[in-house]
Amino acid sequence: MSNGVLPDYVSMAKPNPAENRAPWYKNTAPTYAGIFLWFVFWNKMASGGSDAPGGVLGQGIWVALLGLILAALLCHFLFYLVPGLFGMKTGLPLYVVGTSTYGVQGGFLMPGFLMGVLQFGWLGVNAYFSSQALAPLFGGSLAAQKVIAVVWAAGAAFIGLKGIQYVAKVATFLPLIPLAILLIMMGKTIGGIGDFDADVLVAAGAAEGSEAVGLSLFGVIALCITYIVGFFATAGAAGVDFGMNNKDEKDVSMGGLVGIALATVVAGGAAILIAAGAFGKGLGAGLDTATPSFMGAVMGSEGAGKTMGLLLAIAALPPACFSSFIAVNSFKTTLPKVNPFISVGAGTAVSILLAVTGWAGDVMGVFTVIGASFGPVCGAMMVDYLMAGKKWAGPRAGWNLAGWISWVAGFAVGMAPLVGIADIPAAPLAAFIVGAVLYYVLAKAGLESNVLSMAAAPAPAAEAPSEEKSE
């Protein structure tokens, strides 16, 4: 271990003490569950964000659910668990823990700054789909949708800068709105599930004059993985920040199993069954289950669909504000000399551009970029953790080449389908695997930079206190 000078953002970091931590059901699980209940996730679950006839239902309900469950488990075990354990064992946030994988200079950009940049992408996605949900209340014109998107993104960014504490007070309860809507629509469509025919759905979704061909069994599973893992990848790496609030390994594990794996299956599975049941009842071949038109058809009332869209948009406000808040913290840390109103304002302008041009509506494109960006991050962090003996190795000097080279290669693999270089199935998972394997090979080849000693090493997480004290 070599000595060296640590930047202030590392040397001044203080571990979250054990007395400030809480059980998994009070922090990790409900927060992650709220992410998957966000209507932007389950709206296109049945289609997988793809134009393929039948979407993930092209091989029937059971294959769709199999792909969903497999993707949910991958999110928990590969993308979340190690970051969560990193946070729990060190008590330190992602931008500090990441210095082991990317170096104290490289870690300034990866994953900290990258996490902040991508949050503005999420803000654009939120603004786009929330404006779609609200536009029918204002005549439904494209102009109205764009105006709403601008106001939504700007307002959420301002709240992220100034008033996030007010949103946090109600954010715990707002995810109950999409859960209630899912349950109501399940009740309305469950009678049609027995009449669902995948072949008929595929034929209905095929372009006029073309052969009705849906995805293969492997194609459906790969699409589920691409859609779900791409959606989740940044939240997986953020498991470090969630884990630093957990008491022990059991809390980390239970928080992920319930808040990630189970929540994915519940929200995604409900959307799949609703789409299948609606088609079985003859309500059309639509697969976007959170649009006002779809919900209106299910409820038998256009007004009910618009009301549900309004409620889903209200429930989407906290995620928009929290995305802004994470971006603000990232930029304040990595760009301390830049006025936050300038840096966040520039990021918000990009969010607005993504929303008003409709680019943010291409969820598969967005999820591909997210998966390509953070798939190799999660893969390299896992190998770094295992090679260090299931602990944090500590901050590494400069730019850790093993981490950066593995990220560049993994990112290229993850982006290949989007830029038309190669049709790689389950690209976010492939990016994870490339990042993990390359990090191991490069570390063994001696391309890891030296570990720097810290003035005060982070204290390990204390053993969980008794149940009475922990609450």
pLDDT of residue 471: 34
Structure confidence at residue 217 (pLDDT) = 97
Q: What is the pTM of this model?
A: 0.91
- Span 28-455 CATH architecture: Orthogonal Bundle (1.10)
Residue 26 CA: distances (Å) to CA of 18, 58, 83, 87, 255: 15, 38, 19, 17, 9
pLDDT at 211: 63
Q: Where are the domains of the chain?
A: 28-455
How many helices (H) and strands (E) are present in the chain, helices listed first? 23, 0
Q: How far is CA 48 from CA 58, 69, 214, 289, in A?
A: 11, 14, 13, 12
Write the single-letter amino acid at 202: V
Predicted pLDDT at 324? 84
pLDDT of 442-453, one tens digit each?
999 999 999 998
Beta carbons of 204 and 58 less than 8 angstroms apart = no
**Contact predicate 255/84, CB 8 Å:** yes
Q: For tokens 């789409």, name the residue.
A: 275
Distance (Å, rounded) from C-alpha 18 to C-alpha 242? Answer: 14
Is residue 253 helix, strand or coil? helix
Find tokens 């293969």 and name the residue. Answer: 216
Quick check: 125 and 39 in contact, CB under 8 A?
no
Distance, CA of 65 to CA of 53 (rounded, Å): 17
What is the structure's pLDDT at 304?
A: 95
Low-confidence ranges of the chain (pLDDT < 70): 1-4, 163-171, 207-211, 285, 455-471
CA atoms within 13 A on the CB side of 281: 21
